[in-house]
Structure 1
Amino acid sequence: MENYLNIYCIPVTVALAIVLIWMLKGVIYRTLYSRFSAWLLNKLTGALDTTFMSHKKRLFKIVLDYKNRQNRDLKILELGVGAAPNLKYVPDNSEITLLDPNPYFTKHAEENVIEAKKRLKSVEWVQGVAENIPSQSNTFDIVFCTLVLCTVVDVKKCLSEVHRVLKPGGMFLFIEHVAAEKNTWKRFLQTFMDPVHYVLFDKCSVHRETESFIRASSLKDIEIERFQSELFSWIDPSIAGTATK
């Protein structure tokens, strides 16, 4: 009997281990991948912020002008906050909600959050997705995102949620990379690189027609500037713009 148990003990144990791993594969994948994604994107934060800095400053000058016209402090929502490099652009005394589905970004964003709290009324971190924003309708004066619409599962639903949570007359600001023109070498390169980006950069699509989605949304007064970021050739062109509710 003892020999019989010894013969079958190891394969049975291995089989049970495989079954357990298979049952928990979703949890393991989400945990390990989310940690890796937060680490990798944090490493790129400085370069990305520098690349798009002039466009961020221009957009947040529009936010400041909006604040002055309203003559009050603003309630702001950032989608896909990542390591929170954009907090330094937010006008003083604002109340800002930071929305991101990846909880492992919080440690990378900690320094930026601590610094921002010195001059902002409040900084609230919320875990969630842009397709289901956990806020009431007509809540925010400003919603903004940078390099986020390339990763959301449902762009239409995301923009619908942006429209819902904005106050009437509120503004949506965005900086995104978009698909190159069809039948060009750059579009071919984007198609080739898209699976790589999907895996490495948290489901990022480099040939998404983001501008078309924005123009087809319920938002109005849409103004978009197209430019070349020259960060990676396959994620150009990029757009920066505003829209209102």
Structure 2
Amino acid sequence: MTMFMNACAFLFRVLTLPLHVAELVGILSFYKRVFPIIVNKVTFSYNDKMKDKKRELFQNLDKFYSTKGSLRILEVGCGTGANFEHYPTGCKITCIDPNPHFKSYLEKNMAKNDHLVYDSFIVASGENLQAVKDSSMDVVVCTLVLCSVKDTPRVLQEAKRVLRPGGAFFFLEHVVSDPSTWIYFFQHVLQPLWYYFGDGCETTRATWKHIEAAGFSDLQLRHIHAPLFFMIKPHIVGYAVK
């Protein structure tokens, strides 16, 4: 089965070779403008299907208020602001995303969720949070972000750096399936095409291993099967305390 899977994956890599070349020479840069439009449309469906899971996860935010009053949240890879409706009233939100074209959609969600206080929108990758001070956040949030970052351990270390002692890293991510499943097979076979459709998204990452190895003092992590397209059914959800 492994040999057949690798052969199929190789075939898809060959078929997507023109896309790879186009990316190398910069022709695909226009997709950075198109991708927020796609995400904005997909978000409505994802949020509807995952509403209960998100509500359950973010109910734990109340545990991490600091003595400074409002809950300070840094959302890495904020996208269109799909999580805002689940944050407690009065939270102070700092948003970071490497794609500046998300800003217009983000502003619409900010206006819709006026129970929050918005600090700033920073154009940066999760691996480079230099604009955020050490120990300045109560919570860092990543949802559907660690599937596409270039260096997952680096993102997690940056999250730990900006969190205050006792602060928490919240996550909700799709991950690779069990190797005995057909989902695992198709995740690996279709990954070369999925990468370009998802602007760098990878379905074959065992992200939980990086979180477990990141050195948090406490980790609450669950594996779940989400009611979504089969390629992204396997998810992990939880939070890790600095």
Where structure 2 has 5 or more consecutive residues not aligned to the other structure, the ranges are 1-21
Please name the residue that 1:200 is paired with.
197
Q: Deviations over 1:12-46 (max 9, x none)?
A: xxxxxxxxxx9x953x532x110111111111010
Q: Deviations over 1:153-212 (max 9, x none)?
A: 000101110111100000111000111112432211110121122101111000101011
The normalised TM-score by structure 1 is 0.84
Provide the C-alpha distance between the structure 1 equivalents of 2:180 and 2:112, rounded to a whole number of angstroms.
46
Structure (1/2) with the larger helix percentage:
1
Provide the C-alpha distance between the structure 2 equivalents of 1:65 and 1:138, rounded to a whole number of angstroms.
17
Q: Deviations over 1:110-148 (max 9, x none)?
A: 2111123x3223342111100011211111000011111
Please name the residue that 1:61 is paired with.
59
Q: Is 1:180 aligned with 2:183?
A: no
Provide the C-alpha distance between the structure 1 equivalents of 2:87 and 2:198, rounded to a whole number of angstroms.
26
Provide the C-alpha distance between the structure 2 equivalents of 1:220 and 1:123, rounded to a whole number of angstroms.
28
SS in 1 for 2:132: coil
Please name the residue that 2:122 is paired with.
126
Q: Is 1:46 aligned with 2:44?
A: yes
Where structure 1 has 5 or more consecutive residues not aligned to the other structure, the ranges are 1-21
Counterpart code for 2:209: S
Please name the residue that 2:5 is paired with.
none
Provide the C-alpha distance between the structure 2 equivalents of 1:53 and 1:71, rounded to a whole number of angstroms.
30
Please name the residue that 1:138 is paired with.
135
Mapping of residues 1-245 of structure 1, within 5 Å: 25-26=25-26, 29-30=28-29, 32-67=30-65, 72-116=69-113, 118-133=114-129, 134-245=131-242
- Structure showing greater radius of gyration is 1
- Taking structure 1 as reference, are residues 65 and 120 closer, same or farther at Cα in structure 2, changes over 3 Å only? same
Provide the C-alpha distance between the structure 1 equivalents of 2:118 and 2:108, rounded to a whole number of angstroms.
15
Count of matched residue pairs: 219
Please name the residue that 1:7 is paired with.
none
Please name the residue that 1:16 is paired with.
none
Shift of 1:226: 1.2
Work out whether residues 76 and 143 of structure 1, in 8 Å CA contact, stay in contact via their aligned partners in 2: yes
Work out whether residues 179 and 236 of structure 1, in 8 Å CA contact, stay in contact via their aligned partners in 2: no
Counterpart code for 1:236: K
Work out whether residues 179 and 206 of structure 1, in 8 Å CA contact, stay in contact via their aligned partners in 2: yes
* Root mean square deviation, CA, Å: 1.9
Provide the C-alpha distance between the structure 1 equivalents of 2:153 and 2:86, rounded to a whole number of angstroms.
27
The normalised TM-score by structure 2 is 0.85
Q: Deviations over 1:82-115 (max 9, x none)?
A: 1111111111111110110111111122211112
Q: Percent identity among equivalent residues?
A: 34
Provide the C-alpha distance between the structure 1 equivalents of 2:228 and 2:119, rounded to a whole number of angstroms.
30
Counterpart code for 1:126: I
SS in 1 for 2:145: coil
Shift of 1:71: 7.8
Please name the residue that 1:10 is paired with.
none
SS in 2 for 1:131: coil
Which aligned runs of 4 or more in structure 1 are off by greater than 3 angstroms?
none
Work out whether residues 193 and 206 of structure 1, in 8 Å CA contact, stay in contact via their aligned partners in 2: no
Provide the C-alpha distance between the structure 1 equivalents of 2:194 and 2:216, rounded to a whole number of angstroms.
29
Provide the C-alpha distance between the structure 2 equivalents of 1:219 and 1:235, rounded to a whole number of angstroms.
26
